[in-house]
Amino acid sequence: MAIEKRREEELDIYRPFEEMQKVIDRFFEEFPRIWPTTLSAETFVPAVDISETDKSYEFEVELPGMKKEDVNIEIDDGVLTIRGEKKEEKKEEKKGYKKIERSYGKFERSFSLPSDVDEKNITAKFENGVLNISIPKSPEAKSAKRKIEIK
């Protein structure tokens, strides 16, 4: 029995971590090119809290620094859409350095609503940078609920 030296290409199957590292390196080289341009400094996503009561669904949307005139709410075929634009205030500073961490730009959030909502009686209130949307549940949907006997 003769001892043979393994060829270089045969050794590749014994180096899975090197191959994985090549894939990861290639991903990060391509990352700036494939990253969506829609997620830039001109876009922000407002935080939304959604809760449910016995009578309604409640949406609370944080929109600091915005006015109610900058926000549009629509409902179409069971989908609630909130969109708007937070405009950047241009201030000229005489200082040599300024850092801005506020988000500006257009936003749009859409939510599929359950079938038990009463679309005709939705109300919205905007106060202190918070948008509150109340979507009542339909009384017909409540009465349609019944227990089913298992046979």
| pLDDT tens per residue across span 20-75 | 788 887 777 766 555 554 444 456 788 999 999 999 999 999 998 889 999 999 99
| Alpha-carbon distances, residue 138 vs 110, 113, 120 (angstroms) | 21, 12, 10
Helix (H, G, I), strand (E, B) or coil at 30: helix
Identify the pLDDT of residue 148: 75
- In degrees, rounded to 5, the angle at the alpha carbon of residue 120 between the alpha carbons of residues 119 and 125 is 85
CATH 3.40.50.300 fits 48-88+103-143, yes or no: no
Whether 134 has a pLDDT exceeding 70, the answer reads yes
- 27: which 2 tokens? 């991903």
Q: Domain spans of the chain? A: 48-88+103-143
Identify the pLDDT of residue 121: 93
| Alpha-carbon distances, residue 38 vs 32, 48, 111, 116, 124 (angstroms) | 13, 20, 20, 34, 28
Handedness of CA 32, 33, 38, 41 (dihedral sign): positive
H helices of the chain, in order, are: 8-11, 16-34, 139-143
Residue recorded with tokens 């202190």? 128
DSSP letter (8 states) at residue 66: -
Whether 110 has a pLDDT exceeding 80, the answer reads yes
Identify the pLDDT of residue 87: 77
Answer for the pair 138, 119: CB distance below 8 angstroms, yes or no.
Answer: no
In the predicted model, what is the mean pLDDT of residues 104-128? 91
Average pLDDT, the chain: 79
